């Protein structure tokens, strides 16, 4: 029997299929903001009510409620079963579907990996929240404004802020259900005997996202005099510097068709270019560009421009990029090299001369061939016969590394012209040459360890933050566009009783009740029977309404649930879930549900310890009594 299709393959498939082009085969799509819109391929649509998000790789119809990803599209539109859909998409991408038996060990490894994504994601949300709310946000916002970044750009790149205290993130993540081990593995925590502390403190944080947009690591810049100036997450199971390109996800989502990608040296350059409406730059994270990086770029665009500083280090980095590019010169991708005037980087150039200045520089980028010959001829006097012969000997080993094809033929022509001989002799020379050895890419140095926070490690910063969150000082909150000061994103923050169903802005953890609803929406089978709540607000009522609908009407799919609640407040929240996180994995939902339930159990246990009998349905009345007691105590305190 054929084994299981590895989840990693399905992930990769969803990663590489361009949903807009898949759906574009059936209906015409037009760009509208970040999304594409068109007439729904699933129902008789008069006005375009169907929208596709290339960023999230999902679609949603506001008319009939159809929604999903490339796989659901293939299933529902093309009438395939799951395996058939995977095979169809794989064929489209020209890849074979691998099969494997998943051992318990592999399954454990997969789960551990997912936990890493989750913990980094939680840290990401927390950092972004801090930039809008933390006590040290003013310095960070001043710094970003000083670099010319708008709030919108900061938001797009998910720029955040780590608190001053060495314990704030750790404490937040602990409360969200992660342990030190997971934080350390994700490169967020420094572990020392007797004292574990946050890796990033008082730094502006830049999430490093993989192609699919999942945050896998951070780069962080100091706001004080600490060393080092820039600090990256250490490498982890989900973050390999030699593979991830900073800005690639943002570039893909900002451009419907990407014609060109610019490889720059610094992450800040990527952001600066995007700020100046050139959202097509990528950078490595503290490592030289690798063959792996280049392969990703070549698959995506017909033109790659390497942009380096004009100094010696820049030239060296350029040469390394050239060495890696040679074996990929198959005529599909053009490589250009741009060396900026001495002392300039893209950021400073843009600040000084704006987009026009940068475009002028771009137009002067040289072809790989020119860079290669210029670099190798630099010490040769081409008027002299022996120098010309030497050139042949020097260049041949490099040409040897090129694949057969037109680019190589043209290079042979060029070398023959420069040496002043015929092509046959040059071809012979190249054929017999040893391929030039390329300097192995230096293994990225381990990230320096940030200095430990001043003794003693306390959670002062955290408390300060908690208090700050409640203060009225909202100065600067308008920096991060269209975000309101938001509640502290603790994993289990109690939801304030609300009159209306309203989700917090993207980036802020959902309150527990919304998470219940989210689980039910994606996985209706979780519904068993209505729940008892200490406090019955809009959310609690909605949860029970949904549970009852699922049970009473035997609803077994998200689409059916969506249909049932269409044009209601709950339906509006469902549409929002689809828009925000439709790819949420089933096992993750089940785990989330379990966490929520465990939390309810723990709460009951806590109540019991306090002498309040709480079990089963008594939970509700016990909680109600506790809350009533607390409220009474608070009322008494007030003058």
Which residues make up the interface to Zn ion (CB under 5 A)? 40, 42-43, 61, 63-64, 66
CB 166 within 8 A of CB 197: yes
Q: Which is nearer to Zn ion, 48 or 247 (CB)?
A: 48
Report the nearest approach of Zn ion to the CB of residue 65 (Å). 7
Q: Which positions ≥6 away from 580 have C-beta within 8 Å?
A: 503, 506
What is the smallest separation between the CB atom of 37 and Zn ion, expressed in angstroms?
A: 12
Q: Which is nearer to Zn ion, 64 or 441 (CB)?
A: 64
Beta bridge partners of 207: 218
How far, in Å, CA of 511 to CA of 493, rounded? 6
From the CB of residue 271, how many other CB atoms can be counted at a distance below 10 Å? 27
Which CB atom, from 67 or from 176, has the smaller least distance to Zn ion? 67
Contact 173, 185 (CB under 8 A): no
Q: Which is nearer to Zn ion, 43 or 580 (CB)?
A: 43
Nearest distance from residue 222's CB to Zn ion, in Å?
Answer: 50
Phi-psi region of 320 (alpha: psi -120 to 50; beta: other; left: phi over 0): alpha
Work out how close the CB of 66 gets to Zn ion at its nearest, in angstroms, rounded to a whole number. Answer: 5
Is residue 165 a contact partner of residue 462, using CB atoms and an 8 Å limit? yes
CB 263 within 8 A of CB 305: yes
273 close to 350: Cβ distance less than 8 angstroms: yes
**257: Cα separation from own chain's centroid:** 20
Residue matched to tokens 């709540």: 533
- 39 or 293: CB nearest Zn ion: 39
- Dist. CA 508–CA 501, nearest whole Å: 16
Q: Enter the DSSP assignment of 100.
A: B
Q: 64 or 258, CB closer to Zn ion?
A: 64
Measured from the CB atom, is 64 or 493 closer to Zn ion? 64
**Minimal distance in Å, beta carbon 518 to Zn ion?**
22
Supply the minimum distance, in Å, between the C-beta of residue 61 and Zn ion.
3
Q: How far is the CB of 41 from Zn ion (least distance, A)?
A: 8
Q: Could you tell me which of 583, 488, 504, 464 has the C-alpha nearest to residue 163?
A: 464
Q: Which is nearer to Zn ion, 68 or 187 (CB)?
A: 68
Q: How far is the CB of 560 from Zn ion (least distance, A)?
A: 14
Residue 78 CB, shortest distance to Zn ion, in Å, is 16
CB atoms within 10 A of CB 555: 21
Residues 516-551, buried b or exposed e (16+ Cβ, 10 A)?
bbbbbbbbbebbeeebbbbeebbbbebbbbbbebbe
Residue 272 or 562 having the CB closest to Zn ion: 562
> Which CB sits closer to Zn ion, 38 or 160?
38
Taking the complex as a whole, the smallest distance from the CB of residue 9 to Zn ion amounts, in Å, to 30
Q: The tokens of 47 are what?
A: 């006005």
Judge contact between 48 and 88, C-beta under 8 A: no
Identify which of residues 505 and 563 has a Cβ nearer to Zn ion in the complex: 563
153 within 8 A of 481, measured Cβ to Cβ: no
CB of 67 to Zn ion, least distance (A): 9
Containing 305, the helix (H) or strand (E) segment is: strand 303-308
Sheet strands side by side (includes 160-161): 160-161, 203-209, 215-222, 230-232
């Amino acid at each position: 029997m054929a084994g299981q299709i590895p989840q990693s393959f399905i992930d990769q498939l969803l990663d590489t299929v361009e949903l807009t082009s898949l759906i574009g085969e059936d209906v015409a799509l037009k760009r509208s903001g970040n999304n594409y819109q068109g007439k729904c391929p699933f129902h008789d649509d008069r006005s375009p009510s169907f929208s596709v998000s290339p960023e999230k790789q999902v679609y949603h119809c506001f008319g009939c409620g159809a929604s999903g990803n490339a796989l659901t599209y293939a299933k529902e539109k093309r009438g395939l079963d799951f395996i058939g859909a995977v095979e169809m998409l794989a064929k489209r991408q020209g890849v074979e579907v691998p099969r494997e038996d998943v051992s318990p060990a592999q399954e454990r490894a997969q789960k551990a990996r997912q936990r890493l994504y989750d913990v980094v994601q939680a840290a990401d949300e927390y950092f972004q929240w801090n930039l809008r709310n933390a006590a040290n946000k003013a310095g960070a916002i001043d710094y970003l404004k000083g670099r010319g970044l708008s709030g919108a750009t900061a938001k797009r790149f998910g720029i955040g802020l780590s608190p001053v205290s060495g314990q704030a993130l750790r404490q937040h993540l602990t409360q969200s259900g992660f342990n030190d081990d997971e934080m350390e593995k994700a490169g967020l925590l420094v572990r020392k005997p007797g004292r574990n502390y946050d890796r990033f403190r008082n730094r502006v944080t830049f999430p490093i996202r993989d192609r699919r947009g999942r945050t896998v690591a951070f780069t962080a810049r100091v706001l004080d005099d600490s060393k080092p100036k820039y600090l990256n997450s250490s490498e982890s199971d989900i973050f390999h510097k030699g593979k991830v390109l900073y800005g690639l996800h943002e570039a893909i989502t900002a451009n419907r068709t990407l014609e060109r990608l610019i490889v720059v040296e610094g992450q800040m350059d990527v952001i600066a270019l995007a700020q100046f409406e050139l959202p097509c730059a990528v950078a490595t994270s503290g490592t030289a560009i690798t063959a792996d990086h280049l392969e990703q770029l070549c698959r995506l665009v017909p033109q790659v421009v390497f942009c380096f500083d004009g100094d010696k280090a820049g030239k060296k980095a350029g040469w390394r990029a050239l060495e890696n590019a040679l074996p990929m010169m198959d005529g599909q991708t053009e490589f250009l090299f741009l060396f900026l005037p001495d002392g300039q980087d893209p950021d400073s150039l843009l600040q000084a001369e704006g987009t026009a200045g940068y475009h002028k520089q771009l137009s002067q980028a040289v072809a790989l061939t020119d860079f290669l010959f210029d670099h190798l001829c630099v010490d040769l006097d081409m008027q002299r016969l022996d120098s010309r012969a030497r050139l042949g000997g020097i260049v041949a080993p490099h040409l040897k590394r090129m694949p057969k094809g037109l680019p190589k033929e043209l290079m042979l022509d060029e070398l023959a012209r420069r040496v002043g001989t015929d092509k046959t002799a040059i071809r012979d020379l190249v054929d017999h040459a040893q391929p030039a050895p390329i300097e192995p890419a230096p293994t990225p140095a381990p990230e320096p360890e940030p200095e430990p926070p001043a003794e003693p490690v306390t959670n002062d910063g955290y408390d300060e933050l908690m208090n700050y969150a409640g203060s009225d000082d909202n100065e600067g909150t308008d920096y991060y566009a269209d975000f309101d000061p938001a509640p502290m994103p603790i994993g289990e923050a109690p939801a304030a009783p609300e009159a209306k169903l309203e989700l917090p802005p993207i980036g802020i953890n959902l309150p527990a009740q919304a998470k219940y609803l989210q689980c039910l929406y994606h996985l209706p089978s979780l519904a068993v029977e209505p729940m008892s709540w200490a406090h019955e607000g809009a959310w609690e009522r909605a949860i029970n309404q949904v549970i009852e609908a699922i049970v009473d009407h035997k609803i077994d799919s998200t689409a059916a649930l969506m249909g049932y609640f269409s044009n209601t407040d709950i339906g509006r929240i469902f549409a929002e879930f689809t828009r925000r996180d439709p790819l949420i994995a089933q096992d993750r939902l089940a785990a989330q549900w379990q966490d929520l339930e465990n939390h309810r159990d723990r709460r009951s246990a806590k109540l019991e310890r306090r002498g309040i009998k709480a079990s089963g349905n008594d939970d509700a009345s016990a909680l109600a009594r506790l809350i009533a007691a607390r409220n009474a105590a608070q009322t008494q305190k007030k003058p």
